[in-house]
Structure 1
Amino acid sequence: MRKARLRLAVLATLVGTMPAAAAEDCAAIATRAAAAWRATTTVSGLAGIDAATAACVQKTLVRDLARDLGQPVGYKVGLTGKAMQEWLGVDHPVSGVLLAGMLRRPPGGWTIYPPLSPGAAKKKDDGPISANYAARPLVEADLIAVIGDAGVNQAKTPGEVLAHLSALYPFIELADLALPPDEKPSAASIAAVNVGARLGVLGEPIPIEPGFADRLATMTVSLTDGTGKVLAEAPGAAILGHPLNAVIWLAQDLAARGEALQPGQLVSLGSFGPPVQPVPGGTVTARYDGLSAAPVSLSVDFR
């Protein structure tokens, strides 16, 4: 009896000193994460989560959220900046899943948007978005690539990727860090909360022109406020040396899991420069200078 009590005491001590994520299974963490997503609160206790559990949590969380947000329409690639990777001690991005209900229309609606039904382009825009749309809202200048054919999975260079895309869209991602500010995130904990995917606004499609692959790397992407003040700015190469390298990485990562990119899927390439905080009543505009002869920009209003 004394030995049994001793074993229980030791076990209790060990459990008490384990990270919270290690003491929970995948289903329990995913349930907490889904509840937090719906309540726009953070998910605590994920600092010690391992990569395998994080992948399971993300998959379970996405399946749960799909009941409200519709089916997956593609992926987002995160941790694409060198500074963030160094801070977290990793040398690779992470990926999350985009659900149909996460995407918003720009003012005036879309002219063309291949992955959605033709009628979607005729609907009115969704209007201003609450500045408190998330537990820890982050506004990021991004791009969406639309997969044209399965050949993209064998692409080795940005130019080869471009040849297998059907469209590119300016994209302002409205992400949610979703982790408590007093807990340092890890690549695994960020992956577990679906890389912060919550909302995003797509602009008009960008015509793909000759020389586009080079210009994607050398363009300057900026976020400005309603007065024109620059809030963040970075070259296209800030994403993995070239923004289309995000597609190459994602295809390889999916292949390692026995999956592949499919025609019509969307890929959010990552954040150009640091994110900014939304301000009630404010406007954020993403500009892509040097990408096309015609100006490329997209704005989001907050209430």
Structure 2
Amino acid sequence: MTPDAIEDAAAKLLKAEKAGEQCGLLSLAHPGMTLDDAYAVQAALIARKKAEGRKGIGWKIGLTSRAMQQALNIETPDSGVLLDDMLFADGTTIPAGRFIQPRIEAEIAFIMKQPLKGEQVTRDDVVAATEHVAPSIEILDTRIQRADPVTGKARLITDTVSDNAANAGIVLGAQRHAVDAFDLRRVGAIVKRNGVVEETGLGAGVLDDPVAGILWLVRRLARYGAGIAAGEIVLSGSFVRPVEAPAGAEFEADFGPFGSVKVTFG
């Protein structure tokens, strides 16, 4: 994609978010679009948001489970940027109309105390740089159509990555734990919508170890000379399938001894 095409795609995504109306598939408009193009669109989109006064607070990692990768016919996770207006308090009610087509996922969040940068970073480095881990809910939204209404063509990974990896919000639980206080592979969550269990899962669903998700992100960012900063929040990836969040839905992600998170959609 040309620089002009990248900026045009970013402008379309921002317009869609503000209008609350999804735009067409970028992969359909740009059939030769690559993952590098998609991350360039994402970067241009985030730059536009920061120019409007928003600030970066961290990162999200997505598509870490084999089931989700197979559904999109890919073999790698993806990532997006967390901004300050995406952070919601535990138990909050999301205002009606804030999102277009929201869904939620349960995840383990990492809160960093030291920066991480470079392709040589190890698992031990990630553990040493982590101040706390916490239960969380990620709110997903789609500013791009899930499928083209005329051709039926489904959204591709390049669409999702361009759309900031479908990230829209994060709800952090109140609990904070040392990174080695639990075996994160065995930390599980029961996700209920309006009191009904919709999904369950274990941390091992994230690349067999949530820490591995952070390691993947650091190495991916190193390709662009970037890294994770001290104080940032990193969503390590979902170990449950996305659950639709229609208006009026009340969610609880019960992580057992690890904590819990609640959110309601107005």
- Structure 1 residue 220 and structure 2 residue 188: aligned? yes
TM score, norm. by length of structure 2: 0.87
Amino acid at match of 1:301: T
- Structure 1 residue 83 and structure 2 residue 67: aligned? yes
Flag the structure with higher strand content: 2
CA shift at 1:209, angstroms? 6.5
CA shift at 1:169, angstroms? 2.1
CA shift at 1:133, angstroms? 3.2
Aligned residues: 256
Counterpart for residue 122 of structure 2: 156
Seen in structure 2, the aligned counterparts of structure 1 residues 139 and 94 have a Cα distance that, compared at 3 Å, is same
- Structure 1 residue 208 and structure 2 residue 208: aligned? no
- Classify the secondary structure of the residue corresponding to 1:134: coil
Runs of at least 5 residues in structure 2 that lack an aligned partner in the other structure: 148-152
CA shift at 1:130, angstroms? 3.7
Q: Distance in 2 between matches of 1:238 and 1:132?
A: 32
Counterpart for residue 234 of structure 1: 201
Q: How does 1:52-201 map to 2 (within 5 A)?
A: 52-68=36-52, 70-107=54-91, 127-130=92-95, 132-150=97-115, 154-157=120-123, 160-182=125-147, 183-201=153-171
State percent identity of aligned pairs.
25
Q: Which runs of 4+ in 1 moved over 6 A?
A: none
- Deviation readout 1:45-97 (Å, 9 max, x if unpaired): 31233223212211110111224461111111111111121222221111111
- Classify the secondary structure of the residue corresponding to 1:55: helix
Looking at both structures, which has the greater relative contact order when contacts are Cα pairs under 8 Å and sequence separation is at least 6?
Answer: 2
- Structure 1 residue 257 and structure 2 residue 224: aligned? yes
Counterpart for residue 37 of structure 1: 17
What RMSD, in angstroms, separates the aligned Cα atoms of the two structures?
2.3
Counterpart for residue 150 of structure 2: none
CA shift at 1:99, angstroms? 0.7
Flag the structure with higher helix content: 1
- Deviation readout 1:246-299 (Å, 9 max, x if unpaired): 10000100112111222111111111211111133331001113xxxx451011
Larger Rg: 1
Counterpart for residue 10 of structure 1: none
- Classify the secondary structure of the residue corresponding to 1:169: strand
- Deviation readout 1:217-259 (Å, 9 max, x if unpaired): 01222211232x2111111111111111110000100112111
